[in-house]
Amino acid sequence: MNKIENTIQDTIIKAKAGSQIAFSTLLDTFWNDVYGFQLKRTENENDAEDITIQTFSKAFDKLHTYKEEYEFKTWLITISKNIHIDLVRKRKRNVLDAWRSNEAVKKVLDDAPTAEDRLITEQNLATLLEHIKKLKPHYQEVINLRFFNELSYSDIATQLGEPMNNVKVKLLRAKKLLAEVIRKKL
């Protein structure tokens, strides 16, 4: 093992022990590799960013399963590839289901939401906003900028005056915390 590989393995050990600095270091070190891989596969910046975030989220959740005999970058790329494959399958399944149920034809014929649809959407949005308000203000802000204002990571970083990697980590944490809040309510 060379010096860089030793440093990465040391960082992984620290991350397994719960060090947030180690997690950030791993994210900073391997973000461009995973994002570049996904950008080539998806040819879509938003999909590449979302899959990359999901990759690190899943990798950090399953870090205890990582085996040192494999290169960490290869492990991340494999996770990323599997997430992309699942996404493609899900999209195909949704298209097929919509086609089979003739939903596509119904949407073309009547695209306007009914009063009931609007009410349900408003109620779901209100509930989601209530859950978001339970997060710390800096997490609320990053979720608002990403999902309601639909800003890219770089635009959020510029607006907040923070490095892009900080924004990525904040968004990752915010999504996890929001999921926990929602799960507790179910």
Segment among 6-20, 91-105, 136-150 with least mean pLDDT: 91-105
Contact in structure between 139 and 173 (CB atoms under 8 Å) = yes
Categorize the per-residue pLDDT at 36 as very low, low, confident or very high, splitting at 50, 70 and 90.
very high
The answer to whether residue 103 scores a pLDDT higher than 80 is: no
Per-position DSSP letters for 27-73, written without gaps between them: HHHHHHHHHHHHHHHH--HHHHHHHHHHHHHHHHHTGGG--TTS-HH
Separation between Cα atoms, residue 149 and residue 158, nearest integer Å: 14
pTM for the whole thing?
0.57
Average pLDDT taken over every residue of the chain:
84
The mean pLDDT value for 82-101 works out to 79
Please give the domain boundaries of the chain with CATH numbers for all domains. Answer: 3-96 (1.10.1740.10), 112-185 (1.10.10.10)
